[in-house]
C-alpha cells in the first residue's frame, strides 16, 4: 500500500490564484490508473503566506520495501519543504521537535553567514524544543533544497526549497518536484563506522570496484544532450575517466533502497499530467552518497537550469546528477497521452528509482527497482557543454589558487588541501582549481556563493553557474566566483561520509 504521503510535487506552480488554464480540469480528476493509486492534482490557491513561515523538524514513518522506517521530516503544515513566491523574504521560524540537537542548512541560498545553518559556524545546533528565526532576502529564484549538515542528512532530514520567479507563475505548466535519496535501515553512525573501521570498511561496499569488462551498458543510457545540440563541441562521451577503471571507486555504501519522493519503484509516486501539457521537473539529488543519471525515457527534455541557475537550454533525455546537484527540465506530454517513467539510475549499478507521469486512464507498467544493466560512472561530458545564461562578468581574477582533493578507500581519510590560507575580501574575484588526486569522484560545494565552472583540465569555457560541481578522479575543475558576504564559509565534498571524515575546509571572506 502507498504510504500516506502528500508530496509537494503535485503543487501547481503558483501560490497565487491563477486564471483558469487548460490543466485546471485535473484538479477534480481523482484517478486510479493501471491498478496504482494516482496522486491527485490539487491546486492550492492564494493564501498569503504567514510570516514567518513555520518549518518543523520532526520524525515520520515511511514504509520502505514493506518495512516501517522512522525517518526525519522537514515540513510546513505537514507538507515537505518550502516554496517561496517571487519577492518573498526567507522569513522562517525553524522549530526542532526532535529529542536531539539538529540544524538545517539552506543549500544554494546566499544568506548572511550567521544564518547559513552549519553547527557552531557560528551558531550552535537547535536544542530539542528550540525555535530559531531566520530572515533574509532571497536573491535568486530557482530549485534549491535544505538539509541537516550532520549525519542526520542520511536519515532523510532534507526537503525541497523552491523559489519561484514571476515567469514561473505566469507560465502555463505544471510543476513536479522530485527529491532523490539513498536509504538504509542502518543508522548513519553504523554506516560510517563500517567505512572507517580499517579494512572492514573496504569490504562492506562489495562491488564498488566496478567491473568494466564490457558490462557497461551505454546503450541504455539514451542520448546524451551533447549528441543533440553540441556536436560541434567535441566527440561525445568522455571515455578518459574509464581508462583506469579497475581502480576507480564508485559507491562506498550498499543501501537498502533508493527513493524518489520517499518511495521506491515498487510503489512509485504517480503524478497525473495532462495530454499535451507542459511540465517542469525540478529534480534534487538529496542522496547522502549516491550519484544518479536522471532519464526521461521516451520523452525529450529541455535542461533549463542547474543548481537553480539558468543555462542556455540543452535538449536530451539523460542527465548526470551528483550529490546535492539539481536540474530543471521542461518536458511536453505527448498529445495522445500515456505513462512516462522518470527514472534515476545509480552510477555503477543496476539500482534505480523514480516516479511516473501519467495521463488519465493510462496503463502504468511496473519498472523493477533493479535493472539488468549497470549505469556508467558520471563524467563531465555534459558539464563541459553547459553554458551559463547569466555568467559572471569577465575579468581577471584577483586571486587564483590550486586545491587538492585527496584520500583513499583503505584509510577512509579524505581531505581538501591548499585553501587554508585563502583570505578574501567581499567583491574580490577568485578562481580555485580543484585537482582530484584520489580514485573517487567528489561533488564539491561552496556555501553562500554561486560559482561559475570556467575550466576543465586546462580547457577554458564559460560554463554553468552552480553551487556544487563534480570533480571525477584525476580531473581538474576550475571555478570562479566573486567573494560574497563576510563569513567563514564551508567548502566541502557533498559525499556525506567524505565530508565528515575530513574533506572540508572554510573560505574566509572579510
Ligand atoms: Cu568526496
Same-domain pairing of 26 and 168 = yes
Instruction: For residue 65, give the C-alpha cell.
Output: 520495501
Same-domain pairing of 344 and 407 = no
Cα of 472 from ligand 1 centre, angstroms: 9
Instruction: For residue 149, give the C-alpha cell.
Output: 549538515
Cα of 436 from ligand 1 centre, angstroms: 10
Cα of 470 from ligand 1 centre, angstroms: 9
Domain end position, chosen among 363, 382, 401: 382
Cα of 418 from ligand 1 centre, angstroms: 16
Query: Based on C-alpha coordinates, what's the Rg of the chain?
Result: 21
Q: How many CB atoms lie within 10 A of CB 97?
A: 16
CA atoms of 269 and 278, how far apart (whole Å): 19
Q: Is residue 450 part of a domain?
A: yes
This prediction has a pTM of: 0.84
Cα of 414 from ligand 1 centre, angstroms: 7
CA atoms of 442 and 279, how far apart (whole Å): 31
Q: What is the pLDDT of residue 126?
A: 98
Q: What is the pLDDT of residue 14?
A: 39
Annotate 100-129 with three-state secondary structure. CCECEEEECCCCCHHHCCCCCCCCCCECCC
Nearest to 500 by CA among 159, 179, 152: 152
Q: What is the pLDDT of residue 39?
A: 40
Domain end position, chosen among 334, 356, 382: 382
Cα of 441 from ligand 1 centre, angstroms: 6
The neighbourhood of ligand 1, an ion, using CB within 5 A, equals 442, 493, 495, 498
- For residue 370, give the CATH number of its domain: 2.60.40.420
Q: Is residue 251 part of a domain?
A: no
CA atoms of 347 and 289, how far apart (whole Å): 11
Q: Is residue 148 part of a domain?
A: yes
CA atoms of 190 and 421, how far apart (whole Å): 35
Cα of 502 from ligand 1 centre, angstroms: 9
Same-domain pairing of 450 and 373 = no
Q: Is residue 208 part of a domain?
A: no
Cα of 443 from ligand 1 centre, angstroms: 6
Same-domain pairing of 222 and 276 = no
Cα of 396 from ligand 1 centre, angstroms: 29
Same-domain pairing of 64 and 128 = yes
Cα of 385 from ligand 1 centre, angstroms: 23
Cα of 405 from ligand 1 centre, angstroms: 8
Cα of 379 from ligand 1 centre, angstroms: 15
Cα of 386 from ligand 1 centre, angstroms: 22
Same-domain pairing of 503 and 407 = yes
Domain end position, chosen among 382, 414, 436: 382
Q: Is residue 226 part of a domain?
A: yes
Backbone angles phi, psi at 496, to 5 degrees: -55, -40
Cα of 273 from ligand 1 centre, angstroms: 37
Residue 493, C-beta contacts closer than 8 angstroms, at least 6 positions apart: 405, 414, 416, 442, 443, 444, 445, 499, 503, 504
Cα of 79 from ligand 1 centre, angstroms: 31
Cα of 442 from ligand 1 centre, angstroms: 4
Q: Is residue 204 part of a domain?
A: no
Q: Is residue 409 part of a domain?
A: yes
171-198 pLDDT, tens digit per residue, is: 999 999 999 999 999 999 999 999 998 4
CA atoms of 456 and 105, how far apart (whole Å): 29
Cα of 440 from ligand 1 centre, angstroms: 7
Beta bridge partners of 470: 443
Same-domain pairing of 109 and 33 = yes
CA atoms of 112 and 103, how far apart (whole Å): 16
Q: What is the pLDDT of residue 106?
A: 98
- DSSP letter (8 states) at residue 241: G
CA atoms of 167 and 379, how far apart (whole Å): 32
Cα of 388 from ligand 1 centre, angstroms: 25
Q: Is residue 14 part of a domain?
A: no
Cα of 438 from ligand 1 centre, angstroms: 9
For 63, the 3-state DSSP assignment is: strand
CA atoms of 41 and 213, how far apart (whole Å): 46
Cα of 496 from ligand 1 centre, angstroms: 8
Cα of 228 from ligand 1 centre, angstroms: 31
Cα of 501 from ligand 1 centre, angstroms: 10
Same-domain pairing of 26 and 145 = yes
pLDDT in tens, the chain (510 residues): 333 333 333 433 333 333 334 444 333 333 333 333 334 333 344 455 568 999 999 999 999 999 999 999 999 999 999 999 999 999 999 999 999 999 999 999 999 999 999 999 999 999 999 999 999 999 999 999 999 999 999 999 999 999 999 999 999 999 999 999 999 999 999 999 999 984 233 323 333 333 323 233 333 344 444 333 333 333 333 333 333 333 568 888 999 999 999 999 999 999 999 999 999 999 999 999 999 999 999 999 999 999 999 999 999 999 999 999 999 999 999 999 999 999 999 999 999 999 999 999 999 999 999 998 999 999 999 999 999 999 999 999 999 999 999 999 888 999 999 998 899 999 999 999 999 999 999 999 999 999 999 999 999 999 999 999 999 999 999 999 999 999 999 999 999 999 999 999 999 999
Cα of 409 from ligand 1 centre, angstroms: 11
Helix (H) or strand (E) holding 142: strand 142-148
CA atoms of 60 and 370, how far apart (whole Å): 26
Q: Tell me if 144 sits within 8 A of 108, measured CB to CB.
A: yes
Same-domain pairing of 39 and 153 = yes
Report how many domains make up the chain: 3
Cα of 326 from ligand 1 centre, angstroms: 17
Nearest to 476 by CA among 384, 411, 409: 384
Domain span at residue 396 reads 215-239+386-509
Between the two ends of the chain, the Cα-to-Cα distance in Å is: 54
Cα of 292 from ligand 1 centre, angstroms: 15
Cα of 18 from ligand 1 centre, angstroms: 44
Same-domain pairing of 465 and 498 = yes
Amino acid at each position: 500500500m502507498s504510504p500516506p504521503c502528500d508530496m509537494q510535487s503535485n503543487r501547481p506552480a503558483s501560490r497565487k490564484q491563477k486564471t483558469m488554464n487548460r490543466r485546471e480540469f485535473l484538479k477534480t480528476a481523482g484517478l486510479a490508473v493501471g491498478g496504482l493509486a494516482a496522486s491527485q492534482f490539487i491546486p492550492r490557491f492564494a493564501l498569503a503566506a504567514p510570516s514567518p513561515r513555520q518549518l518543523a523538524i520532526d520524525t515520520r514513518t515511511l514504509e520502505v520495501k514493506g518495512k516501517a522506517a522512522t525517518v526525519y521530516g522537514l515540513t510546513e503544515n505537514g507538507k515537505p519543504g518550502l516554496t517561496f513566491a517571487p519577492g518573498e523574504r526567507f522569513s522562517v521560524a525553524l522549530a526542532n521537535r526532535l529529542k536531539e540537537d539538529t540544524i538545517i542548512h539552506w543549500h544554494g541560498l546566499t544568506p548572511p553567514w550567521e544564518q547559513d545553518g552549519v553547527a557552531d559556524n557560528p551558531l550552535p545546533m537547535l536544542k530539542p524544543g528550540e525555535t530559531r528565526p531566520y530572515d533574509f532576502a532571497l536573491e535568486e529564484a530557482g530549485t534549491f533544497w535544505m538539509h541537516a549538515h550532520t549525519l542526520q542528512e542520511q536519515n532523510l532530514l532534507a526537503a525541497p526549497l523552491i523559489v519561484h520567479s514571476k515567469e514561473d507563475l505566469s507560465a502555463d505548466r505544471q510543476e513536479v518536484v522530485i527529491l532523490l535519496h539513498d536509504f538504509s535501515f542502518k543508522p548513519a553512525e553504523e554506516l560510517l563506522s563500517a567505512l572507517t573501521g580499517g579494512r572492514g570498511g573496504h569490504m562492506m561496499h562489495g562491488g564498488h570496484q566496478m567491473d568494466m569488462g564490457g558490462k557497461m551498458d551505454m546503450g541504455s543510457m539514451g542520448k546524451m544532450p551533447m549528441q543533440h545540440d553540441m556536436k560541434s563541441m567535441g566527440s561525445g562521451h568522455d571515455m578518459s575517466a574509464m581508462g583506469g577503471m579497475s581502480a576507480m571507486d564508485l559507491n562506498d555504501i550498499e543501501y537498502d533502497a533508493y527513493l524518489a519522493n520517499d518511495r521506491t519503484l515498487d510503489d512509485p509516486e504517480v503524478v497525473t499530467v495532462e495530454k499535451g501539457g507542459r511540465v517542469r521537473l525540478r529534480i534534487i539529488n538529496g542522496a547522502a552518497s549516491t550519484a544518479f543519471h536522471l532519464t526521461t525515457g521516451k520523452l525529450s527534455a529541455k535542461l533549463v537550469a542547474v543548481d537553480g541557475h539558468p543555462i542556455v537550454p540543452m535538449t536530451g533525455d539523460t542527465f548526470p546528477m551528483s550529490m546535492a546537484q539539481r536540474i530543471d527540465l521542461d518536458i511536453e506530454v505527448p498529445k495522445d497521452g500515456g505513462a512516462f517513467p522518470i527514472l534515476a539510475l545509480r552510477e555503477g549499478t543496476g539500482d534505480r528509482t523514480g516516479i511516473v507521469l501519467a495521463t488519465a486512464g493510462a496503463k502504468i507498467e511496473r519498472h523493477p527497482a533493479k535493472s539488468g544493466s549497470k549505469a556508467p560512472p558520471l563524467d563531465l561530458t555534459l558539464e563541459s557543454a553547459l553554458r551559463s545564461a547569466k555568467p559572471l562578468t569577465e575579468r581577471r581574477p584577483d586571486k587564483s589558487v590550486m586545491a587538492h582533493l585527496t584520500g583513499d578507500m583503505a584509510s577512509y581519510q579524505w581531505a581538501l588541501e591548499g585553501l587554508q590560507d585563502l583570505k578574501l575580501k567581499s567583491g574580490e574575484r577568485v578562481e580555485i582549481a580543484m585537482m582530484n588526486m584520489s580514485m573517487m569522484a567528489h561533488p564539491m560545494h561552496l556555501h553562500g556563493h554561486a560559482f561559475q565552472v570556467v575550466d576543465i583540465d586546462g580547457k577554458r569555457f564559460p560554463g554553468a553557474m552552480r553551487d556544487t560541481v563534480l570533480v571525477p578522479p584525476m580531473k581538474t575543475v576550475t571555478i570562479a566566483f566573486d567573494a560574497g558576504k563576510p563569513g567563514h564559509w564551508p567548502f566541502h565534498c557533498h559525499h556525506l561520509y567524505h565530508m565528515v571524515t575530513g574533506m572540508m575546509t572554510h573560505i574566509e571572506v572579510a
